[in-house]
Amino acid sequence: MTTNAAGNEVWSLYANFDVAGLIFLNCFDHEERQGTMGALHNDMFTDPDGGVFGTWSPAGTNSGFNSTDSYVTATNSFGGGLTGTALDPSFNDSNGGGWAFHAGWYDASPGTMNVMGASHKVAQIVRSANAGYYRANLEIGFKISNTTTALFGNAEWSIGAVPAPGALALLGIAGLAGRRRRA
C-alpha cells in the first residue's frame, strides 16, 4: 500500500505464481466476504450531462496507470498497458465503488500472448484513508504457454487495517450475549 498526493490509500492487487511464463486469461467470480471496498475513481469518461463517473476500465485512467484511479487490468505491465482488458457485462455494482458479486475481467486480445511474470498486477484500488477493512475471494484463469488447457486458482485477498483479534472476540461475545437475552 502507498499513499497518493490526496492522502488516499493506493492498493495494488497481484496474482503471484511459483513460476514465470504463464499466460493470463481472466479473473472472475469475485465474492465479498467482509466490509465495503469503497473504491475511488478518477476516469476521463463522462456521462451525458458532462459529469465524470467511475469505471473499472484501465483505458479510462487519466495519464495511464496513475495513483488516483481504481481499475482492473488483464495486461502485463511491460507492454500494451492500457489496452486489452475487457469487463464482464455485469461487472460494475450499483454505485461504482466496488465489483458486483461474481464479477470478472479478461484479456480481450489473447493473441498477444499475455505472458505473466511470477507476479502479475490484476487491479489497483484507491480508497480514502479511513475506508476500513475489506476481504474477498477471486478466481484466476491462466494457462501454460503453447497449450490450450485452462488452469484455475482461487485466492482470498484483503485491503485495509485488519481488525484486532480482541475486537473480533468482543464482537463475538456481544453477539452471543444479544442472542441469550432474546431467547
| Lowest-pLDDT choice from 31-40, 60-69, 73-82 | 73-82
CATH number at residue 85: 2.60.40
Cβ neighbours, 10 Å, residue 91: 19
Alpha carbons 83 and 171: distance in angstroms, whole number: 45
pLDDT for position 38: 87
Total count of domains within the chain: 1
Show the beta-strand stretches assigned E in the chain. 2-3, 9-16, 22-34, 71-72, 85-87, 105-107, 119-127, 134-144, 151-159
pLDDT for position 175: 40
Grade residue 145 by pLDDT with cuts at 50, 70 and 90: confident
Q: Which has the higher per-residue pLDDT, 81 or 15?
A: 15
Does 79 have pLDDT greater than 60? Answer: no
- For residue 49, the enclosing domain spans 2-182
Residue type, 9: E
